Amino acid sequence: MHVFVTGATGFVGTSVVGHLLSAGHTVTGLARSDASAAKLDARGATVLRGDLTETDKLAAAAAAADGVIHTGFIHDFSNFMHSVAVDKAAIEAMGGALEGSGKPLLVTSGIGLLKSGQVATEADMPDGSSPRLSEAAAMPFADRGVKAMMIRLPPSVHGDGDHGFVPANIGFARQHGRAAYIGDGANRWPAVHVEDAGRLYLAALEKGEAGGRYHPIGDHGIPFREIAETIGRKLGVPTVSLTGDAVAEHFSWMAGFAAMDVPADSAWTEEQLGWKATGPGLIQDLEDGTYFEA
């Protein structure tokens, strides 16, 4: 199968491309820069120069492929609504190009968009409080002859090269000389190793069904306090509870994410796709991985 991948040199996309190539598929990857293009070329992938705003180019690439995996997103929380609009337009362009083809379209979303405070399953729908529209944009194509599917990533997709919430949290701890959690720190974060996530995209591409929503989950719900305590111990700084204005002062743009309580289950995904997380958990990765290397 020839697969068009957006975000192909990002943290998750790099793993996805690796698993696709190892399974014998061919890949065209979207690349914004010379450096990204060189990385894809070195791996034996075809390069499409462009970015997520070039919807005509995305549509043409989708139409020419046997399937599409959309991992790209503009992670600019200072202009989040622009990122959301670009994502929605990109999904609609690629989905429109695939209408009536029966080809797979895998779109990335997040567990954090589901209802807080309960164990999220694949049957749960976004609670509507987030402006991110990936799922709403993608899933109608399942009724238009596209094998549209969602991959809902947990807040922490971890491993070497992670540049998401956990490294940001470590950065805040370094900056302030203390690791922190909010209140009693009992809010729970699910997590998955990046290579397990990459394997799930491959499994969904090959075995998934139209309308399927899949959860790559290794840790079903780690108390945020445990994450903070591990960071504090590894950095040799105290770990403290924060409330009120101190939360935003410490966590800045990440304050809302640090408060998320979104444990998640992946039993249906495991049953449907024959997938199971096998990589290290987040705490083990913090203990033994590269997160605290200078």
Q: 2-157+191-218 in CATH: which number?
A: 3.40.50.720
Question: What whole-number percentage of the chain has pLDDT above 70?
Answer: 98
Q: What is the rounded (10 degree) CA torsion for 112, 113, 119, 125?
A: -160
CA 169, 173, 176, 182 torsion-angle sign: positive
- State how far the Cα of 71 lies from the Cα of 2, in Å rounded to an integer: 16
State which H helix or E strand residue 220 sits in: strand 219-223
- State how far the Cα of 15 lies from the Cα of 9, in Å rounded to an integer: 9
CB 265 within 8 A of CB 119: yes
Domains in the chain: boundaries? 2-157+191-218, 162-188+221-262+280-288
Residue 130 pLDDT: 66
Residue 143 pLDDT: 97
The per-residue pLDDT for range 142-198, each reduced to its tens digit, is 999 999 999 999 999 999 999 999 999 999 999 999 999 999 999 999 999 999 999
State which H helix or E strand residue 30 sits in: strand 26-31
pLDDT 10s digit of each residue in the chain, 294 long?
999 999 999 999 999 999 999 999 999 999 999 999 999 999 999 999 999 999 999 999 999 999 999 999 988 777 888 999 999 999 999 999 999 999 999 999 999 989 899 999 999 998 766 667 899 999 999 999 999 999 999 999 999 999 999 999 999 999 999 999 999 999 999 999 999 999 999 999 999 999 999 999 999 999 999 999 999 999 999 999 999 999 999 999 999 999 999 999 999 999 999 999 999 999 999 999 999 986
Q: Which two tokens stand for residue 8?
A: 């192909």
Backbone angles phi, psi at 108, to 5 degrees: -95, 135
pTM recorded for the entire structure? 0.96
CB 24 within 8 A of CB 61: no
